[in-house]
Amino acid sequence: MSQSKIVAAVEIGTSKTVVLVGEIVNGRSLSVIGMGQSSSSGVKKGEILDFKAASNSTHAAIMGAEKSAGVNIDAVYLAQTGRHLEGFNNKGSVTVSAADGHVSGSDIERAQREGKSKELPQDRVYIHHIKNEVLLDGRKVDEPYHMKGERLDIGYWSIHGDERRVRDHIHVINGFGLPVEDMIVSSIASGSMVVGDEEKKAGALVLDIGCGATDWVLYQDGYIARTGVVAVGGDHLTNDLALGLRVNRRNADKLKLQCGKAILEKDDLTEKVWMVGDHMIGDRHIPKKAMVQIIEARLDELFRIVKKQIGPRCTAQNLPGGIILTGGTSQIEGICELAAKVFGAEARLGVNPRIVSEDLRGPEFSTVLGLLHYALTGQHAEEFNTGAHERGILRKVVKLIAG
Amino acid sequence: MDISLKTTDGEIGETGVGDGLRVKIIGVGGAGTNTVDRLQFGEQGQARLAAINTDAQALASSPIPEKLMIGRSVTRGLSTGGEAELGRKAAENDVSSILNMVSGMDLVFILVGLGGGTGSGAAPVVARQARDQGALVVAFATLPFSLEGGRRLEIAEAALGELRLVCDAVIPLPNDLLLQQAEENATVLDAFTQADDWIGRGVGSICAMLFQTGLINVDFATLKKAFCVQGGKTLFGLGRGEGGDFVEKALQDLALCPLLHTPEYARKADRLLVNIIGGTDLGIGHVNRVMAAVTERFGSKADTVLGAVIDDNLQSTVEICVIGTTDVGGGRYVRQPVKSYAAKPKPPESPQGRPIDKAQGGPAAPKLDLEETSAPDNRESDYEPLPELDSVRPHDGAQGRSTETRMPQVHQSKLKKTEANDGTDQEEFLFVSEEEQRGYFDKTDRNLFDGEDLDVPTYLRRGIRVTL
Ligand SMILES: Nc1nc2c(ncn2[C@@H]2O[C@H](COP(=O)(O)OP(=O)(O)OP(=O)(O)O)[C@@H](O)[C@H]2O)c(=O)[nH]1
Ligand SMILES: [Mg+2]
C-alpha cells in the first residue's frame, strides 16, 4: 500500500501569498495537486507588519488551496525572507580520532556539532546550517567518511533570523491549525529551481527579485556558499516611479508593468508614454527617459548592493554559471543587460523546471516550487548521512516558540 | 463675489488687516541665516528679520539687523562642528536672549537647514521659547542631501521630530528633492538657492495674506485655525503660471510640484491655507477656479482658508501656494483660540503632548462630524478633565492668547475616516488612504545600507535629475 503525505508550500509574499499543495507518495515522488493565492496585506519588504491582516490573507490562500486540492493539508513548508535574516561562515574542526587515521562517523558528527554550536544573541534563532566546504588536512573533499587524514574541517553557512519575526511567520500558519514542518529561506528555495547542478559546480549567483525584497544565493563548487537579502524589490520601483513621475501608485505600477525598462537606450530619449492611456482629461504624457532613468538607478543600485554584500568573491571568474534572475520583478525589460553590466558576468532569466505545469512556470513561482522540492528531498541542510538525522533545526525553533 | 467666498473665512478687500501684528522671521544656524539673508521682501516687509548662530564670523557677515550669538561659553564663537548636542547647549545657555527675541511676537517663522549642529540643536529650543511666549510658530526646515552622509541625515531627522513637537507646523524640504527642480546642470549651491526661493515664497505667501492689500485678506485668528493641530504631517506646494491660460498652467505646475509627492508630506490635508498672488488682471473667477481645483485635490472647502493678493507688477501671472496641516502622525494637542479673555477654568494640558494611540484610529472608530473636528472651539465640552496633567506650561493661560488641551480621542484625522467610509477606488476624488499619504514605507523599519535609507528613491539620493 502506498503511503501519501499532503504537504503545502506557503510563501507569504509582499504582493501575494501563494500556497501549493503537493502529494508526496512513498516519500519519493511529488505531484502538485492544488493551489491557492490571495493578495497579501500587512506585509512589506517581505516582513509581516500587521499580523492579523497577514493571517487573514494567508488563511484565505490556504483555504483556497485545500479546496482546489480537495484534501486537507498535513504540514506546511514555509518560506522566509526579510532584512532580519543574516548569515555567517563557521567551521567545525576536529582531530581524527581513530589510530589508523580513518575518518569515522563520530568524527564527522563532532565536527558537524561544533560547526553549528556558535551561540546567537538572545533574540536570534538559527534557520539553517548549510554545509559547504569540507577539508581534510586542508584539502577539499566531497565525502570524508573513511578517508585518511588527521584533521577534519566542516564549514557551514549559518543563517539566522529575528526570533520575533520568525515566530510571527510560524504563528500565522499555526493560527490555521497547521504545523510548520520546516522553514526555508526564499533564496535557497528559488535557487533550487532555476540552477542546475553543473552551474552550481561552476559557480553561479541567483537573484530572486520579488515585490518587497531581493533574495540571493551564491553557489560555488556545487554548494551554497552564501545567501543574502536586500529589502528592495518591485515595490520600490513602483514607489520611485510614483514619486519621480508624480503619478499615483496605481498608475506607477501600471507604467512599470507595461513599459518599464531597466536600461536606457537611444530610442527612449524621445519617446513618450501616456500616464493612464485612456486619452481622457487628466491623462498626460510622460517621457520614457524619465521612467527608465528612475528604474535603472534603482536596479543598478540593487545589483551593486548585492555585489558589495558578496564581497571580493563576486567576480566573473567565480561565476561561470552566470547570474540567474528570477522573481516577479525579473520580468522587466532589459534587466539582464543591466545585471550583466554591473556584475561583469553573463546574466539570464531563470526558468522553472519543465515538469511543472504551464501556469507555474512564471518566475514568481520559483520560491514555492523550491519549497516543495525541499519537502520532497527533506534535506535543506544538505548534511551527510551519518545515521543521526540532522533535520529540522526549525523543530527547535518551533518547540521553543510553542513552549 | 461673496457667495463663493463664504466658506473661506476670509475677510474681503479690507486694508490694514494685519496692522499691529508682530511677525519675526528667524534664521537659525548657518543655512538658516543664509536663507533669511536672501529673502526677497516686497510689501510684506513688515516682518522683522533675525539670525541666531554659534558661529561669530558667519553672523558678522550677515546683513540681518537683529543678530544673536549663542553659546559663547560652549563653542567660543565657533561652529559646533556638526554636534547637535552642542547646538542645543548653546541655545539653552542663552535662553533668556532667545526669549527676548521672540517675546511679544504673534507669529514666528523659523528657518533652518537641518543636519548641522547649530540649526538642528538650537532650532527646537528657539521654537519652544517662541511657542511658550504665545506665538504661532511655523518652521521651514531643509533636510540634507543624501550625499552629505547618513550621520547628517540622522541628526536632521531627530531634529525634525523635535521641531514637530514644539512648532505649530513644520514644513520639511529635502534638498535631494529641491535639486530635482533645478536646471539640468545644477550644483549643490543651486539647490540651496532653490531652497531659499521656496522658503521665501512660503513665508512670503503667509505674510502677504496677512499684510498685503488684496482681494481676500485673512486675519490672524483665521490663519491660526489652519494651524490648530500640531505635530502632524504637513503639505506644501507651489505652482506658477504665466501667459494665456495662466490659471490652468499654475494648477498643472502645482500638480507636478515634487514636494507634494514625497513621503515626508501629506497628500491631503485636514486644513488648508491657500494663497493666490496674481496681477492686476486676476479676477474673482480665476480665484474660484483655483479654489475649486485645489480643494478638490488636497482637502475640503470647509476647512480652507483662502487669501488672494494682487501684485501690481504682475500681469497674466498667478502663483499658488498651498500649505496644509493634518492630524495624521500628530494630533497631540490642539491649540484653542480663546473666545474671551476673561478668566475661566483652563482645559487640561498634556505635558509633552502625550501621543494618542494610533491604533484607535481603525475603521471601527466612531464616525464624526467633520465640521466639528476642524472647529475645536465648539468642542470644549468634550474635553475630559485630567487633573494630574494640569499647568505644566505657565505662560499659556497667563497670556490669554491661546491654550492647549490634550486632544480627546474624538479628534482624529478625517482623512482616515473618509477612507473607512467606502473603499472605492476613485482615489483622485476621495481622500487617499493613510498609508499612501504617510509614504508607502512609512510604517516599516528604516532600510539602511551604508548609511543610506534604501526606501528613498535611488534617483533622488544619487541626484539624478528627472525631467518631466
Ligand atoms: N538652504 C541652504 N541650505 C544650506 C546652506 N548651507 C548648508 N545648507 C544645508 O544645511 C545643513 C546645515 O548646515 P549649516 O546650517 O551650515 O549648519 P549649522 O546649523 O550652522 O551647524 P554647525 O555649523 O554644525 O554648528 C547642511 O547639511 C546643508 O544641507 C545654504 O546656504 N542654504
Ligand atoms: Mg554653522
Contact flag A235-B467 (C-beta cutoff 8 Å): no
Q: If you measure CA to CA, which chain A residue comes closest to B463?
A: A297
- Angle (CA) A244-B277-B314 rounded to 5° is 105
Residues A201-229 have a mean pLDDT of 95
Which among B260, B444, B464 is the nearest to A45, CB-wise? B444
Residues of B in contact with A281 (CB under 8 A): none
Which domains are assigned to chain B?
1-212 (3.40.50.1440)
Q: Are strands B271-278 and B304-310 parallel, antiparallel or unpaired?
A: parallel
Taking residue A145's Cβ as centre, other Cβ atoms within 10 Å add up to 14
pTM to 2 decimals? 0.71
Give A-chain residues touching B263 at CB under 8 angstroms: 243
3-state secondary structure of A133: strand
Mean pLDDT of chain A: 89
Please report residues of B whose CB lies closer than 8 A to that of A236: 454-455, 457
Question: What average pLDDT is seen over chain B?
Answer: 72
| Nearest-angstrom CA–CA distance, A231 and B360 | 29
CA distance A85 to chain B (A): 13
DSSP B260-309: GGSTTS-SS-SEEEEEEEE-TT--HHHHHHHHHHHHHHHS-GGGEEEEEE
Of the partner residues B258, B445, B459, the one whose CB lies closest to the CB of residue A293: B459
Residues across chain A: 403
Higher pLDDT, A119 or B217: A119
Mutation choice for ligand 1 from B72, B79, B148, CB with most ligand atoms inside 8 A: B79
B450 interaction partners in chain A (CB closer than 8 Å) = 308
ipTM of the complex: 0.90
Q: How confident is the model at residue B450 (pLDDT cuts 50, 70, 90)?
A: confident
Res. B79 pLDDT band, cuts 50 70 90: confident
CB-based contact (8 Å) between B426 and chain A?
no
Q: What is the 3-state secondary structure (H, E, C) of B8-43?
A: HCCEECCCCCCCCCCEEEEEEHHHHHHHHHHCCCCC
Q: For residues B85-90, give the mean pLDDT.
A: 94
- Ligand 2: centre distance to CA B87 (Å): 10
Q: Per-residue pLDDT tens for A328-360? A: 999 999 999 999 999 999 999 999 888 888 888
The answer to whether the CB atoms of A246 and B258 lie below 8 A apart is yes
CB A47 to CB B256 under 8 A?
no
The answer to whether the CB atoms of B258 and A44 lie below 8 A apart is: no
pLDDT band at B210 (very low <50, low <70, confident <90, very high): confident
Angle at A240 between CA A236 and CA A246, to 5 degrees: 145
Name the residues around ion ligand 2, CB cutoff 5 A: B 30, 55, 79
Contact B31, B119 (CB under 8 A): yes
Q: Give the mean model confidence (pLDDT) for residues B315-337.
A: 69
- pLDDT at position B438 is 35
B positions 239-268 inside 8 Å of A (CB): 255-256, 258, 260-263
pLDDT value of position B307: 86
Put simply, whether A39 touches B (Cβ < 8 Å) is no
Nearest to B224 by CA among B169, B276, B301, B299: B169
Higher-pLDDT residue of B295, A304: A304
Pocket test of ligand 1: the residue of B112, B118, B171, B177 to mutate, having most ligand atoms within 8 Å of its CB, is B118
> Measured between beta carbons, which residues in chain B are less than 8 angstroms from residue A274?
none
Res B200 pLDDT > 50 = yes
Between B364 and A244, whose confidence is greater? Answer: A244
Q: What digits encode the pLDDT tens for the residues B340-371?
A: 333 334 444 444 433 333 333 333 333 333 33
The counts of H helices and E strands in chain B are: 18, 16
Q: Distance from the CA of B206 to the center of ligand 2, in angstroms? A: 28
Task: Write the residue with the smallest CA distance to atom 6 of ligand 1.
Answer: B31
Contact across the interface for A246 and B462, Cβ inside 8 Å:
no
Q: Using 50, 70 and 90 to split pLDDT, how confident is the model at A282? A: low
Does residue B217 or residue B117 have the better pLDDT? B117
pLDDT at residue B374, as a whole number:
35
Whether residue B353 lies within 8 A of chain A, CB to CB, comes out as no
B residues 137..166 contacting A (CB < 8 A)? none
| CA–CA dist A339, A348 (Å, integer) | 9
Q: Where are the domains of chain A?
A: 88-161
User: B260–A246: do the CB atoms touch at under 8 Å?
Assistant: yes
Of B59-73, B74-88, B404-418, the range with the lowest mean pLDDT is: B404-418
**Cβ distance of A294 and B459 shorter than 8 Å:** yes
pLDDT, average across residues B48-54: 93
Predicted local confidence at residue B345, as pLDDT? 41
| Partners of residue A243 in chain B, C-beta under 8 Å | 258, 261-263, 457, 460
- Residue B391's pLDDT band, with cuts at 50, 70 and 90, is very low
Cell of A281: 482629461
Cα Rg, chain A, nearest whole Å: 22
Confidence band for B3, pLDDT divided at 50, 70 and 90: very low
Mean pLDDT over A290-299 rounds to 96
Q: Which of A43, A45, A243 to mutate to test the interface with B (most CBs of B within 10 A)?
A: A243
B424 touches chain A (CB under 8 A): no
Average pLDDT over residues B368-385: 34
Dist. CA A249–CA A211, nearest whole Å? 14
Tens digit of pLDDT for each residue in B398-444?
333 333 333 333 334 444 433 333 333 322 222 223 333 336 787 78
Contact B462, B144 (CB under 8 A): no
B156-186 burial code (b ≥16 CB/10 A, e <16): bbebbebbbbbbbbbbbbbbbbbbbbbeeeb
In this model, does residue A54 exceed pLDDT 90? yes
Q: What is the CATH number of domain A88-161?
A: 3.30.1490.110
What average pLDDT does this structure show over A220-240? 95
B 440-459 residues with CB < 8 A to A: 440-441, 443-445, 447, 449-450, 454-455, 457-459
DSSP letters, A295-335, are: HHHHHHHHHHHHHHHHGGG-SGGG-TTEEEEESGGGGSBTH
List of chain A residues whose C-beta atoms are within 8 Å of the C-beta of residue B436: 248-249
Residues of B in contact with A290 (CB under 8 A): 466-468
Can you tell me the distance from the alpha carbon of B216 to that of B201, in angstroms, rounded to the nearest whole number?
A: 18
Residue with cell 520583478: A329
Distance B69 CA to ligand 1 centre (A): 16
Is B213 in contact with B310 (CB distance < 8 Å)?
yes
Q: Is it the case that residue B213 has pLDDT exceeding 70? A: no
- pLDDT exceeds 70 at position A215: yes
pLDDT for the residue A280: 63
B147 HSE (CA, 13 A, CB side): 13
Please name the helix (run of DSSP H) or strand (run of DSSP E) that holds residue B334, with its range, or none.
strand B333-337
User: Does residue A193 belong to the interface with chain B, where contact is any CB pair within 8 Å?
Assistant: no
Please say whether the dihedral angle defined by the alpha carbons of residues A103, A105, A106 and A112, taken in this order, is positive or negative. positive
Tell me which of B53, B57, B68, B142 to substitute to probe ligand 1's pocket, judged by most ligand atoms within 8 Å of the beta carbon.
B142
Q: How is residue A206 annotated by DSSP?
A: E
User: Which residue in A80, A33, A63 sits closest to A356, CA to CA?
Assistant: A33
Cβ pairs bridging A and B (under 8 Å): 89
> Can you say whether the dihedral through the CA atoms of B182, B187, B192, B196 is positive or negative?
negative
Residues with CB under 6 A from ligand 1: B 29-31, 34-35, 54-55, 79-82, 87, 113, 115-119, 142, 144-145, 148, 152, 175, 192, 195-196
